[in-house]
Copies of this chain bind each other. A is one copy, B any other.
Amino acid sequence: MAEWQAMGLDLHNCPIRSILDQVAAKWPVLILLEVHQEPKRFNMLLRAIPDISRRMLTQGLRDLEQNGLLTRTLFDTRPPAVEYALTALGRSLMDPLLALVDWAALNRAAVAEAHRLYDSARQA
């Protein structure tokens, strides 16, 4: 049995849901994956994630910082530099997250095949 059930928690009436809603989402996951490889600066992240906008990146970084998953370090140089890195809490999240990405990598063929089957079944 899963931990959260063993703990007797009601998933839908508990902070877990709001944490999950924020973490199991598109941009947070992608940002964390990038920062996990190495600490990165704002514009590096902007380039690394092709389809994210300035706005979403800013917002995502704020949220992740607020949740204690990454740190924002300002270097007082000219021009100024800002570096984002995982916290210990953030690193602890990477295990489940990487497992999820690995699952997607390993099963991408199966998912594609399922799409084909579904489409051809619909045609009938």
Contact = CB atoms under 8 A, between A and B. Distances in A.
Interface of A: 2-4, 7, 9, 11-12, 14-16, 19-21, 23-26, 29-30, 33, 49-51, 65-69, 89, 92-93, 95-108, 110-115, 117-118
A23 B25 CA distance: 9
Nearest to A9: B105
A83 to B, nearest CB: 18
A31 to B, nearest CB: 12
Copies per assembly:
2
B98 A92 contact: no
A67 B3 contact: no
A4 B67 contact: no
Nearest to A108: B15
A112 to B, nearest CB: 7
Contacts of A7: 105
A3 B68 contact: no
Contacts of A19: 104, 107-108, 111
